[in-house]
Structure 1
Amino acid sequence: MKVFLSGGSGFIAAHVLDILLEHGHTVITSVRSQEKANKIKEAHPNTPASQLEFRIVKDIAQEGAFDEAIKIDGLEAVIHTASPFHFNVTDVKKDLLDPAIIGTTGILKAIKKNAPSVKRVVITSSFASIVNPSKGNSWTEHTYSEEDWNPITEEEAVLNPSNGYRASKTFAEKAAWEFVEKEKPNFTLSTMCPPLVIGPIVHYLNSLDSLNTSNQRTANLMTGKNKSEIPDTGTYIWIDVRDLALAHVKAIELPEAANKRFFITAGYFSNKEIAEIIRKNFPALEKELPAKDVKGGDYPKEGLYKE
């Protein structure tokens, strides 16, 4: 298939790109700059230019940002991964809510208007759009599934970056389903709702400072930043980025994935467990790790929600 992939230089998208190419698809990916496009080209030296093309989309929060980029003859599928995931923000609406919501609705509008040949759209959402934070981690009687929605309100969304991120994923995904319901486009929709995504980095990094947020916790443990106390785990379920990327690609390849919401998880984890895995497999890092008796980072004594 001919596939448009937004945000191709991102942590998840870079793996999606690799799998799309492995499966023989032609990929047109959007990036924010020519420099990012060049880095992706360098990472795929044996891929012919006809199988990997680029479109520059500088700001996905701008109305019409994807209008021109999506004008591609014979385009059959779109995978939209581009959305911010970080908490270093000064303006929750501008830095988190707008890019997620406007970026998502904007690409759907652009597809309907300028790419009528598209039949399948996949959007990266999050467990953040499923979880109910007000119930806490110890909601032991509840089993989360794709039927759950985060009940966060617009008023709560702007209170802090953590709320802002959860709201950005919730509102953007809801907006996508509402678009399909109201606009009745030619394409089907599938959404991916992963919890914490961890795994190997395949995209270009200028430095460890630009490491994606989910992998930052592992880097902090490895580099001595948590020697005195292991931080709270926060989200206790995870998925390997390679499995998540494959799920994205399968969602455009398998007809039965159409118009479904997928909650993808590999099970439970804790920051303390990550520390012990590093200790076991990388003994040279022992001096950087928290000592075995250091407090924090374990599972809640009261138990956890199910998934």
Structure 2
Amino acid sequence: MMRPSFRRLLLGLSLIDILLVASIPYIAGSSEDVGDTADLPPKDVSSVDDDTSSLPFVLVTGGNGLVASNLIMELLQRGYHVRATVRNPSKVSHLRTLRNSETKLEIAALDLKEKDVQVYRALLKDGIDWIFHVAAPFVDDLPQSDETMEMAVQSMTLLLQAAAQESSVSQVVYTGSDSAVVYGYADNPIKADPNYIFTEDDWTNVTCTKGMTDYAKMKTLTELAAWEFVEKHAPNFRFSSLLPSYILGPLVSDTVTSSKRIVYEIMAGKYPGVIDLYIPMVDIRDVVEAHFRAAMQSKEPAGSRWANQRRRFLLTRKKGKDVFFPEVAGILKDHFGPMGYSISTWPIPNWLLWIVSLFDSELATMSQMLGVGENYDNTKSIEVLGLTYHTNATEIILETAHAMIQQGLIPKKKGYQARGISGSDEL
């Protein structure tokens, strides 16, 4: 997730907007007509057993983030007792409104700058069974310092050390990123061969300065440190790392994260046009389900060809290349244009973005990816975790936008209708 840097993309497109001025048919979306925010529709929890006393006690780090918020919602709905860590416990209002939060949700403070393993051990008291490590000390997609990188690795290592000292912990699941797979190749960020198929065996090359982002470096170093610890110390718990691509869908978090930014900026009318990029995506519901399945497995499926490999899983909705950026804008325009949203689908020439990229290294990385989409292989997640992905790109994209409108992140126009969503499976 968080690939490429869409805040930097927005900056680049803003510069293009200034350069072209009158030549771009672009009308910024209005911020007027903001209606009351509506609650997201509740999930079906009819299958939850009333007796949940035997369910694992779960720790979720980074509790107010995009993935963690949805994960906590699902854990609570299924009856799990959750201890969620956040840097600032006063900023968890959306978690306090979740079903069962009054009786089954604990909030604990954790600053990832913490260097004392005993602080992490204290988080595991009372018999924590599962750990979902979702937190990352990363401020959106801004440039990061070496200190931030070290903090990410340090917090991962300290948590694993604490877990290894607690006999109750049986599963640790780390929320990584596909950024730890596809970056850092000298000739091109997605390797010299555009038909190369990325799998869990691939690792981002953090020593390569060309075609590298801070986020990719941070996620790669953190995951490498985790695997080094696990393979050196052979702890009693089972470790898995999940590597999602762009996470979209009905998201609970009420902030504009980088994964949501691509839809948010298009809907807000802040792009002067669309560029020649591919967007590998995965539905948040599939990411959450992958966390459950990784934690619930005590052993690999019988006869699995991955039985002796690292439990590392690429999470993406389809095998091969995914949806094209202009197609994303087209889907949003077709659906929301009649409701009063101004959405540009004007194709920005590659040469123009290339000129702007001369002044920004991360935009330069992005310019190398124009017109070339990554081929992903999600077979391992399907065969080992048993995932059945939401594959309808149209529905995933539209549900993302509707969720943000209902949360008040995107203005609710007078013509807005929370109508049924349907779309083709062909994208």
Identity of aligned residues (%): 26
Normalised to the residue count of structure 1, the TM-score between the two structures is 0.84
Q: What is the DSSP-based 3-state SS (H/G/I as helix, E as strand, rest coil) of the residue aligned with 2:315?
A: coil
Tell me the CA shift for residue 256 of structure 1.
3.2
Mapped to 1, the partners of 2:373 and 2:179 lie a distance apart of 20
Choose from 153, 156, 165 the match for 1:104: 156
Mapped to 2, the partners of 1:232 and 1:64 lie a distance apart of 46
Distance 1:226 1:285, change over 3 A: farther
Matched, 1:122 2:176: no
Aligned to 1:247: 290
Structure 1 residue identity aligned to 2:330: E
Where structure 1 has 5 or more consecutive residues not aligned to the other structure, the ranges are: 206-210
Distance 1:293 1:178, change over 3 A: closer
Mapped to 2, the partners of 1:239 and 1:264 lie a distance apart of 7
Mapped to 1, the partners of 2:195 and 2:346 lie a distance apart of 31
Mapped to 2, the partners of 1:45 and 1:195 lie a distance apart of 28
Normalised to the residue count of structure 2, the TM-score between the two structures is 0.62
Tell me the CA shift for residue 132 of structure 1.
3.6
Structure 1 residue identity aligned to 2:237: F
Q: What is the DSSP-based 3-state SS (H/G/I as helix, E as strand, rest coil) of the residue aligned with 1:281?
A: helix
Tell me the CA shift for residue 302 of structure 1.
5.8
1:59-89 Cα distance to aligned partner (Å, 9 max, x none): 2132126425423222111000001262223
Which deviates more, 241-250 or 258-267? 258-267
Superposed CA RMSD:
2.8
Tell me the CA shift for residue 118 of structure 1.
0.1
Aligned to 2:88: 33
The answer as to whether partners of 1:15 and 1:202 remain within 8 angstroms in 2 is yes
Matched, 1:17 2:72: yes
Mapped to 1, the partners of 2:370 and 2:135 lie a distance apart of 33
The answer as to whether partners of 1:12 and 1:81 remain within 8 angstroms in 2 is yes
The answer as to whether partners of 1:19 and 1:249 remain within 8 angstroms in 2 is no
Q: What is the DSSP-based 3-state SS (H/G/I as helix, E as strand, rest coil) of the residue aligned with 1:239?
A: strand
Structure 2 residue identity aligned to 1:93: D
Which deviates more, 176-185 or 19-28? 19-28
Mapped to 1, the partners of 2:68 and 2:75 lie a distance apart of 10
Mapped to 1, the partners of 2:112 and 2:254 lie a distance apart of 21
Aligned to 2:252: 202
The answer as to whether partners of 2:326 and 2:347 remain within 8 angstroms in 1 is no
Distance 1:45 1:190, change over 3 A: closer
Mapped to 2, the partners of 1:39 and 1:69 lie a distance apart of 25
The alignment covers a number of residue pairs equal to 290
Which deviates more, 273-282 or 31-40? 31-40
Choose from 247, 259, 262 the match for 1:217: 262
Tell me the CA shift for residue 204 of structure 1.
3.6
The answer as to whether partners of 1:34 and 1:56 remain within 8 angstroms in 2 is yes
Distance 1:136 1:22, change over 3 A: same
Mapped to 1, the partners of 2:168 and 2:341 lie a distance apart of 56
1:2-31 Cα distance to aligned partner (Å, 9 max, x none): 111101110011111112122222111101
Q: What is the DSSP-based 3-state SS (H/G/I as helix, E as strand, rest coil) of the residue aligned with 1:60?
A: coil
Where structure 2 has 5 or more consecutive residues not aligned to the other structure, the ranges are: 1-55, 301-306, 354-368, 378-427
Distance 1:260 1:237, change over 3 A: same
Choose from 56, 76, 81 the match for 2:134: 81
Q: Show the 5 A alignment for 1:178-193.
A: 178-193=228-243
Structure 1 segments of 4+ aligned residues over 6 angstroms from their partners: none
Q: What is the DSSP-based 3-state SS (H/G/I as helix, E as strand, rest coil) of the residue aligned with 1:282?
A: helix
Aligned to 1:264: 315
Mapped to 2, the partners of 1:304 and 1:123 lie a distance apart of 23
